[in-house]
């Protein structure tokens, strides 16, 4: 019983109360929601076997932070490629209902809400 409670508490801390993960074999999908600025929408588990990700926020704006060692996270948001833009300029902050992507070899990824507007986001990662 103690182990089940510990696992449940770990899941709430690691993924946030409203975050989920789906292991789909060839890729993994994370998704979650937030209500306040800097809420953690989700934090991935070890994704070092993947090297490319796509991200979409359906509400609000989000920031993406990476950890190369699984413990320490970048202090600046990751630059993303806006797949709907007419230029190749990288962006730091997403806009709702747009798809973004990035190629990276990282241990963990953390997605945070940016601003007061509630945010929902999902991210797929796969091996290229």
Tell me the domain boundaries of the chain: 2-126
Tell me which of 9-18, 54-63, 94-103, 116-125 is least confident: 9-18
Q: Say how far apart CA 82 and CA 71 lie, in whole Å.
A: 28
Q: What's the pLDDT score for residue 2?
A: 45
Res 44 pLDDT > 50: yes
Q: What is the pLDDT of residue 4?
A: 39
pLDDT at residue 18, rounded to an integer: 56
Q: Residue range 8-19: average pLDDT?
A: 44
pLDDT of residue 119 exceeding 50, the answer is yes
CB atoms within 10 A of CB 61: 18
CATH superfamily of 2-126: Jelly Rolls (2.60.120.10)
> Model-level pTM greater than 0.85?
no
Q: What is the mean pLDDT of residues 86-91?
A: 91
Collapsing DSSP to helix, strand or coil, 68 comes out as coil
pLDDT value at position 19? 72
pLDDT value of residue 88? 87
For residues 104 and 67, is the Cβ–Cβ distance under 8 A?
A: no
């Amino acid at each position: 019983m103690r182990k089940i409670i510990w696992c449940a508490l770990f899941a709430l801390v690691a993924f946030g109360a409203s975050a989920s993960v789906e292991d789909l074999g060839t890729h993994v999908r994370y998704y979650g929601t937030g209500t306040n600025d800097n809420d953690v929408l989700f934090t991935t588990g070890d994704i070092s076997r993947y090297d490319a990700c796509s991200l979409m926020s359906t509400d609000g704006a989000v920031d993406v932070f990476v950890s190369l060692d699984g413990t320490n996270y970048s202090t600046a948001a990751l630059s993303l490629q806006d797949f709907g833009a007419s230029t190749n300029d990288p962006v730091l902050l997403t806009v709702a209902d747009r798809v973004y992507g990035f190629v990276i070899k990282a241990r963990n990824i953390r997605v945070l809400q940016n601003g007061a507007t509630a945010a929902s986001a999902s991210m797929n990662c796969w091996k290229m």
